[in-house]
Chains A and B, each alone.
Chain A
């Protein structure tokens, strides 16, 4: 389902029509930009909603590498967000580190944890892997609750400083939205490049057929692990961003709820697409606000909308846009 080959084969010069070919994908990006632009201009409550959506977009981008590009299932990515978030929180409050080194430390811890967990579990297949990852999420939650001397249990850690480098601090809604938008765009760019690389093709091969991948010399468990590590690193980043933006962290933040929400976002946005995590996160975050006026019927309207999207866009919003582009250029 790639819709943007980087070169055109000499046999098929008629296939390239650059000005029409990315129309659908461009529309998805334009819609996302419009929503973020609205929040930037009008600020207020909408800015808070969109900021949370962008943090989720970061988390979902990681999940998308593991689930979309490599077709593996993990219910435990929230564990790595928790490791990143708590490391940032503890280091910047108790030990008074600056946010950036705290974030890097969180990243390192998350990668080490992901390696220790991923190395044995990624040899498991299908349901077993899903179950193992679910356990990881639950164990991390319990640790966050019980390890009170460090995490302060249910009470949580407050007074976490805002995002910042040196004298610059992202305190205002606009500054926060700008920083988060830049990070999301960089991640989308990175995913685009991964998809078109040797690494991305190895991921696709694992997703397509592990047997065929092995027959071509691809070390399947090694590439699953690489994909898992990338996803864990991005999850850790999203956890750190969360605690700095909100200024507070508690175990509930990284509970099972986070995983379910992220799954909804990745499917509604479009599994394995570049724009999917962003548009999915924005829509899933904003929909409840749109339906808030309907009071008692709010949940019903939300549910019906989800079902309609999945009926008419089974590959997600960005997936359908990509398919339209492919048809237009064929």
Chain B
């Protein structure tokens, strides 16, 4: 497999606590990879290290072979690594369409002069953004609420909108932080289909998830964490039977 993302010996200490301890794994440039683990296993810390919101104490993050360990989130986004948030962070005052259009930031250009004088290329870019935003909203099933303010959307739709917005940045790898948290069964189903579809379209997906059913349904590869260490890695079927995983989850 070709790896889009490589986590090498990542360690993060908070004082005496070792939240992530010497974790290494590779994420394939195709398909869905999931990181699972019981509460407090270090999933979120690992996720924050990868996305750049906190630096690791030791270890490295390679994105398509390039060392991006010390880069800030916006620099990682520019190199094709885009994340969503466990507690949805939408731009509340903007409509669904406008939220997605913010996602095109990296893939478009134009500052104050383009805004004020609106040359032909800027108008064309705006029309393209409008069309592409409509297509992305269609992908996640939110076309009907395109003109609705993000703040009044139900929680499940807010999550899907956040994914559509992240896709607008055309990531090479999309990081989803507990995407199924707070969703009902029907919304979860819709989410699973959307994630499969994104992976099928050629974007690598790395997700951190609590919901085992979702992970077993959609993941191609599963990494299991417990007490900050990687205890298993493999296909969902293999991981499910792994004695170390059963011990961590059941007792």
Given the contacts A193-B116, A199-B110, A214-B74, A204 and B93 also touching, CB distance less than 8 Å: yes
The total of chain A residues at the interface (CB under 8 A) is 38
- Stretch from A9-17, A152-160, A257-265 at the B interface: A9-17
Which residues on A sit within 8 Å (CB–CB) of B110?
A: 197-199
Please report the C-alpha to C-alpha distance between residue A209 and residue B150 in the assembled complex, in whole angstroms: 13
B206 is an interface residue with CB less than 8 A from chain A: no
In the complex, are the beta carbons of B89 and A12 less than 8 A apart?
Answer: no
B21 is an interface residue with CB less than 8 A from chain A: no
In the complex, are the beta carbons of A205 and B146 less than 8 A apart?
Answer: no
Please report the C-alpha to C-alpha distance between residue A5 and residue B51 in the assembled complex, in whole angstroms: 33
Which residues does A use to contact B, with CB under 8 Å? Answer: 1-2, 5-7, 9-12, 15, 190, 193-194, 196-202, 204-205, 207-209, 211-220, 226, 230, 272
B111 is an interface residue with CB less than 8 A from chain A: yes
Q: How far is the CB of B223 from chain A (nearest CB, A)?
A: 22
Q: How far is the CB of A155 from chain B (nearest CB, A)?
A: 39
In the complex, are the beta carbons of A214 and B90 less than 8 A apart?
Answer: no
B130 is an interface residue with CB less than 8 A from chain A: yes
Given the contacts A197-B110, A208-B91, A215 and B115 also touching, CB distance less than 8 Å: no
A-B contact count (CB 8 A): 133
In the complex, are the beta carbons of A11 and B105 less than 8 A apart?
Answer: no
The total of chain B residues at the interface (CB under 8 A) is 50
Q: How far is the CB of A115 from chain B (nearest CB, A)?
A: 14
Given the contacts A208-B91, A217-B169, A201 and B112 also touching, CB distance less than 8 Å: no
B97 is an interface residue with CB less than 8 A from chain A: yes
Please report the C-alpha to C-alpha distance between residue A67 and residue B1 in the assembled complex, in whole angstroms: 49
Which residues does B use to contact A, with CB under 8 Å? Answer: 51, 53, 72-74, 77-78, 82-85, 89-95, 97-98, 101-106, 108-112, 114-116, 118, 122, 125-127, 130, 134, 143-144, 146-147, 149, 165-166, 168-169
Which residues on A sit within 8 Å (CB–CB) of B105?
A: 198, 201-202, 205, 216-218
Q: Which of A15, A207, A214 contacts B147 (CB 8 A)?
A: A15
Q: Is the interface of B mostly helix, strand, loop or mixed?
A: helix
In the complex, are the beta carbons of B85 and A216 less than 8 A apart?
Answer: no
Taking CB as reference atom, which chain A residue is nearest B123? Answer: A6
In the complex, are the beta carbons of B102 and A216 less than 8 A apart?
Answer: yes
Which residues on B sit within 8 Å (CB–CB) of A197?
A: 110, 114-115, 118, 122, 126
Which residues on B sit within 8 Å (CB–CB) of A200?
A: 115
Given the contacts A5-B147, A198-B108, A217-B105, A204 and B72 also touching, CB distance less than 8 Å: no
Given the contacts A199-B112, A201-B98, A204-B94, A215 and B73 also touching, CB distance less than 8 Å: yes
Please report the C-alpha to C-alpha distance between residue A200 and residue B112 in the assembled complex, in whole angstroms: 9
Please report the C-alpha to C-alpha distance between residue A197 and residue B110 in the assembled complex, in whole angstroms: 8
> Can you report 5 residue pairs joining A to B where beta carbons are below 8 Å apart?
A198-B105, A200-B115, A205-B91, A216-B166, A220-B74
In the complex, are the beta carbons of B102 and A205 less than 8 A apart?
Answer: yes
